């Protein structure tokens, strides 16, 4: 196996790689013959690198195969061209590094597979009758637990949260707080006179007596059960 490298060639790596892909894996003699008739600039340069790689290992082109033909990106030369109104446009001139590796193909002998050692399977130990009954009972209890529906957790009732009542939002809660009502217990204990005064101020139109007081009493009962 021998190698050859050519660096800092004034050639775009993308254009050179098109030719390098075509040549890789070919016989060196066939590759040199094919490159001779290609019109690309990269074809003539790569053919010289292949010939150099063959000469470095004292090989004849017909004896070897191109194992690797790689094109790496080199430094970019930056030039400028004068343009209108005192400006300048940039010109980029890319360079490439070409690497070629040639050698003879040797077929590797496939090593015979080692016979896998047979693993001895452990014999199943038969369980006694009482042990089987216990195991079956444990399985049944585990299945019953899985089938049983999970209990839903109920949230604790906060008697200071007026928004638990239907139709009470943040705006209505602020109005009730302004009138001195801050808990559900106060709404449940309100008299008819107090309800009439609050209706006149807020304009709820009988909602306290018909709806809120009933809901407040139910929430107080629920709170008493939880406590």
Q: How far apart are CA 69 and CA 4, in angstroms?
A: 10
- Other CB atoms within 10 A of residue 197 CB: 13
The predicted model gives 158-165 an average pLDDT of: 71
Give the tens place of pLDDT for each residue, 10-19. Answer: 999 999 999 9
Give 123 or 140, the one with higher predicted confidence: 140
Query: Looking at residue 113, what is its pLDDT?
Result: 54
pLDDT at 138: 78
Could you identify the residue written with the tokens 């003699």?
Answer: 29
Q: What angle do CA 140, 144, 149 make, to 5 degrees?
A: 170
Which of the two residues, 219 and 27, has the higher pLDDT score?
A: 27
Cβ count near 5 (within 10 Å): 14
Question: Which has the minimum average pLDDT: 66-75, 117-126, 136-145, 199-208?
Answer: 117-126
Helix axes 41-56, 13-23, angle to 10 degrees: 60
Residue 46 β-bridge partners: none
- Say whether pLDDT at 108 is over 50: no
Instruction: Grade residue 92 by pLDDT with cuts at 50, 70 and 90.
Output: very high
Rounded to two decimals, what is the model's pTM?
A: 0.46
Domain boundaries in the chain?
Answer: 2-81+89-103, 162-226
Question: So what CATH class is 2-81+89-103?
Answer: alpha beta
Q: In the predicted model, what is the mean pLDDT of residues 190-218?
A: 73
Ranges 1-10, 17-26, 45-54, 153-162: which has the least confidence: 153-162
Q: Tens of pLDDT along 32-44?
A: 999 999 999 999 9
**Alpha carbons 168 and 82: distance in angstroms, whole number:** 76
């Amino acid at each position: 196996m021998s190698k050859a490298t050519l660096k800092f060639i004034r050639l775009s790596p993308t254009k050179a790689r098109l030719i390098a892909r075509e040549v890789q894996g070919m016989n060196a003699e066939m590759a040199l013959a094919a490159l001779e008739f290609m019109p690309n600039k990269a074809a003539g340069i790569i053919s010289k690198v292949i010939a150099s790689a063959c000469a470095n290992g004292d090989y004849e082109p017909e004896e070897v195969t191109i194992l690797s033909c790689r094109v790496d990106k080199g430094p970019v030369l930056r030039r400028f061209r004068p343009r209108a109104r005192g400006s300048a446009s940039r010109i980029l001139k890319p360079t490439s590094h070409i690497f070629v590796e040639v050698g003879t193909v040797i077929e590797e002998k496939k090593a015979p597979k080692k016979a896998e050692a047979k693993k001895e399977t452990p014999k199943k130990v038969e369980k006694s009758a009482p042990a089987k009954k216990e195991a079956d009972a444990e399985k049944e209890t585990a299945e019953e637990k899985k089938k049983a529906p999970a209990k839903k957790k109920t949230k604790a009732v906060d008697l200071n949260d007026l928004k638990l009542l239907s139709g009470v939002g943040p705006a209505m809660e602020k109005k009730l707080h302004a009138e001195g009502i801050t808990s559900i217990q106060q709404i449940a204990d309100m008299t008819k006179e107090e309800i009439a005064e609050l209706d006149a101020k807020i304009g709820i139109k009988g909602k306290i007596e018909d709806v809120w007081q009933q809901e407040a009493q139910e929430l107080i009962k629920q709170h008493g059960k939880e406590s």
